Each structure stands twice: as C-alpha cells, then as structure tokens.
Chain A
C-alpha cells in the first residue's frame, strides 16, 4: 500500500504559467486536503474535499482550484502562478473529515520565479 503519492517532487515554474500538482491515495479515504507549508506559518489549508464530487475552500484558497472527480485523485491547479505561491505543498487524506487522522503525502516543493 503506497498511501498518498504526490507529483512532481519539485518544480521550478515561471510566473504566469499554469501548473497542476497531482495527488493520489489508495486508502479509499473520503476526505482529502491540500495544505501549503511556509516557514514560520505552519500548515495552512488551501482547499478540501469531504467526498468525491464536492470541494470547499480553506484558509488560503485564492489563486488555486481543485477538483474531485473520483475518490482517489485530488489535483491542485495554479491557473497563473505568482512568486508568492512558492511553497511546499502537502496533500493529505482522512477516512472521514472532522477529527479523523490525516495522512500526509511527501510534498511538492514549488518555486515560482
């Protein structure tokens, strides 16, 4: 069982370009999440999905979009990247939402120049 996989591992992107970060889980978890991690700010929720077909906005959703076409995949798209989106992005999943344990992927390090 792989758990959660993320791709790419790292990426350098020119400002203004479109980028999709991929996330796949094989645990059949209902809930999935995208966080960004910045030094001194901890983990901040970007978007979440309680179940396939539904998504919601987190704490810092501007400039990002997500989709949840099926249980396993939860891609995060930056429509037009800006330097402030330079960060480490983590995908996570949990069996249900609320207070179930969240399992995190290995992260994607994104640099926007």
Chain B
C-alpha cells in the first residue's frame, strides 16, 4: 500500500522568510496530493491540493509542486506570518474504482517567530 514520508518534523523560521515542507510517496499510481493545516486544538483543514496532471499550483502565499518521476511533492509558503504557525500534513490518494484511502504523512510543526 501507499506510504507517505514527510520532512522535516519541525521547522522554525523568522517572519517573512520562506518555508518548504517535503513529502515522498511510494505508490506511482497516486494522483491526488492535498495539504492540510492543523491549528492547535482544531481539526485539519485543506489549504491546497494538486493532481498529477499539473506540476505546480499556487494560491497567494502558498504553492505546491509535484515531481511524479521522483514521487515527491512539496509545500512552499512565502512571506511567512505568525498565523502560519501550525502543523502541516501532506497526503496522497488515487482516483479509481472502489474506496481509495487518503494516506497522511506524519506532519510538520511550523513555528514562525515575529
């Protein structure tokens, strides 16, 4: 089955710097890669996703890149702000018949210092 590895486990940056979180996956058939943000005491919330027919997707200060050949995808946050501090999870799944579960990485705790 699918296995998703996520690095780093913790990341500390200064406000205004960029942050990059990387994930690798094992199943070459996976074609859907969402990123979730979890704030303290809350459930995860989708912030951006990418499907395998595109290599990059951007939404304001966040972007996701996908390299299907290498089976890795990354989350990029530019001009970080203190409110970006949270735990971020990558995940992978695939479209297909029957139930295809979403497999999550182990999370990255991002701390943005003012």
Contact = CB atoms under 8 A, between A and B. Distances in A.
Interface of A: 4, 40-45, 48, 50, 56, 58-59, 90, 92, 97-99, 101-107
Interface string B1-34: 0000010010000000000000000000001101
Contacts of A106: 41-43
Contacts of A92: 43
Q: Which of A44, A101, A102 has most B Cβ within 10 Å?
A: A102
Given A42-B6, A101-B46, 11 more contacts: A40-B106, A42-B105, A42-B107, A45-B101, A90-B43, A90-B44, A98-B94, A102-B46, A104-B36, A104-B43, A106-B41
B73 interface: no
A56 B46 contact: no
Which 10 A-B residue pairings sit nearest by Cβ, starting from the closest? A104-B43, A99-B32, A42-B106, A43-B104, A42-B104, A98-B100, A104-B44, A101-B46, A99-B95, A90-B43
Contacts of B43: 4, 90, 92, 104-107
A40 to B, nearest CB: 6
Given A42-B89, A90-B43, A90-B44, A102 B107 contact: no
Contacts of B93: 98-99
Nearest to B45: A104
B46 A97 contact: no
A59 B10 CA distance: 25
A41 B89 CA distance: 11
Contacts of B51: 99
12 contacts: A42-B6, A42-B107, A43-B44, A48-B99, A48-B101, A56-B99, A59-B101, A92-B43, A98-B95, A105-B43, A107-B42, A107-B43
